[in-house]
Amino acid sequence: MTRKGKRLTLISGALAALGLAAGLVMFALRDNIVFFYTPTQLVEKHPAPGARLRIGGLVKQGSVVKGEGRDVSFVITDTAKEVAVTYTGLLPDLFREGQGVVADGVLAGEGRFRADSVLAKHDERYMPRDVAEALKKQGVWQGEKK
C-alpha cells in the first residue's frame, strides 16, 4: 500500500468513527431534546400528540382555574393563538396572569397541553428570547425600550 493510500485509509477510518460517535450521541439524547414553540407555532406545525415540547407566552387574563388539590389549568397566549395548559403541582411564586411563562410537558391533543413543569419570569426584564421575539413581531411587546 502506498503512502497516499495509507493516509486515505486513516482519514476515512477517523471520519467513520466520528460519524458513528455523533450518531450514538444523537440516539442517546433523542428523548432529552425538547423543542420550544409559541402558541402560534404550535398551531401551525401540528406536532403529534405525545410529543415532548416547551411552550412559552403570556398567561391569559382570567384563564387561571384552580381545581382540586394542586390541579391548575390556564391558557398560554402570544395574543394571536392560545394553548390550554393543565398542570398538577406547585406553581412558582411569580406565576400570575399577564406574566410570561414557559411550560415543559407533553401535547395531550388538539389545543391541549399537559405540563410537567412551569417556569415564571424572575424579574420584570426577563422574557425567553423566542417569546419576546414573537411578541415583538405582533407589536405587543411591553419590555424595555432601547
Q: Considering only CA atoms, which of 120, 113, 118 is closest in space to residue 96?
A: 120
Residue position matching grid coordinates 442517546? 28
Residues annotated as binding site?
122, 126
Phi first, then psi: give them for residue 131, nearest 5 degrees.
-70, -45
Parallel, antiparallel or unpaired: strands 71-77 and 65-66: antiparallel
CA pair distance 99, 110, nearest whole angstrom: 24
Residues in the chain: 146
Query: Binding site for heme: which residues?
Result: 122, 126
